[in-house]
Amino acid sequence: MQFLFITLFLIAFIASFVFLVLAVLSARKQNGNTNRHVILTGICLVIGCIGVYGKISLTDKTVHNGTTQTEHSGFNMTTEEFKNKFNSIVGKYRLNGLGVTHLNVKESSEDNTRTFEYVFSDDLRMIGVLDSDQRLQGVRLYGTGDVSEPTDGTLLTAIATLILTTNSDYTYNDAQDIIQDIGLLDRDVDQTDFEGATVRNGLEYRFIIQDSRTFTFGIS
C-alpha cells in the first residue's frame, strides 16, 4: 500500500510540473489554455498531497503497531522496571506477602547470561533471565511442597501477579482466564503429574508439576 501512495505522489508531482510549464507557455502565447492548465496543476497537487498523507498515515500505523506489539510482549523491561511493576500489581490488588524488595542479578559463566532470584518463602521463589541488553527475557516461579493437595491460594496469586506484570492492559479476571486455560482450575487436575500451557499475545504460560513435590510456572 505504501508503494501505491508513493507512486501516486510521484506521478502527481511530475504531472503538476508539466501542467505548470504548459500554463506558463500558454500564458505567453495567450492561446486560451492557461486556465485549464492551472486547474489541472491544482488537481495534480491535490492528488500528490493525498499520496503524501496516505504514506505518512501508513508509516504512523506501522510504528504504532510495532510499539503495541513490544508492549504486549511483556518483557521489554529492566529488572528495576519489572520489580516496580510487580509491586504496583501487589499494591493494587492488596496481595499481601508478595512484595519484592530487591532483585540480585547474577551472571552465568556457562552461557554468558544474567539471572535474578527472589525468595518469597521456603516453598516459593522466582527466577528471571535477562538478555544481552539486560532486559527481561523470561521469568519462572518455582515451588516445593505437598502438591497432592489442591493448588493453594498463594501460588495462584503469585501466578496471577506475574501474568498481570507482563500484560499492562490485563485485569485480574484476564489473569484468571489464563489460569483457567492452562487447566489449573479444572476439578480433575492430576496434582501429582500435570503439565498445561496456553499462549496469549505471543507469550507462553506453562505450569508443570513434577514428582509430586515440585512445580514450576513460566512465562516466555
Nearest to 86 by CA among 168, 177, 175: 168
State whether 93 and 200 are in the same domain: yes
Provide the pLDDT for residue 126.
92
- Kindly state the cell numbers that stand for 139: 521469568
Provide the pLDDT for residue 146.
54
State whether 167 and 199 are in the same domain: yes
Q: Which of 35, 55, 73 is the last residue of a domain?
A: 73
Q: How far apart are CA 139 and CA 163, in angstroms?
A: 10
State whether 46 and 146 are in the same domain: no
State whether 101 and 29 are in the same domain: no
Q: Reduced to 3 states, what is the DSSP secondary structure of residue 4?
A: helix
Provide the pLDDT for residue 150.
47
Identify the residue whose cell numbers are 498515515.
57
State whether 67 and 101 are in the same domain: no
What does DSSP assign to residue 166? T
Q: Which of 42, 58, 73 is the last residue of a domain?
A: 73
Find the range with the poorest average confidence among 94-108, 138-152, 164-178, 203-217: 138-152
State whether 23 and 102 are in the same domain: no
Residue 10 vs residue 150, higher pLDDT: 10
Amino acid at residue number 133: D
State whether 32 and 91 are in the same domain: no
Number of domains in the chain: 2
Q: Which of 39, 73, 107 is the last residue of a domain?
A: 73
State whether 69 and 83 are in the same domain: no
State whether 65 and 127 are in the same domain: no
Q: How far apart are CA 159 and CA 141, in angstroms?
A: 8
Q: What is the pLDDT of residues 11-33, one digit of tens each?
A: 877 877 777 777 777 777 777 77
State whether 103 and 152 are in the same domain: yes
State whether 85 and 135 are in the same domain: yes
Residue 96 vs residue 163, higher pLDDT: 163
Q: What is the pLDDT of residues 60-91, one digit of tens each?
A: 544 444 444 444 445 778 899 999 999 999 98
User: What share of residues in the chain are helix, strand, coil (percent, to 5)?
Assistant: 50, 20, 30
State whether 6 and 97 are in the same domain: no
Q: Domain of 15?
A: 2-73
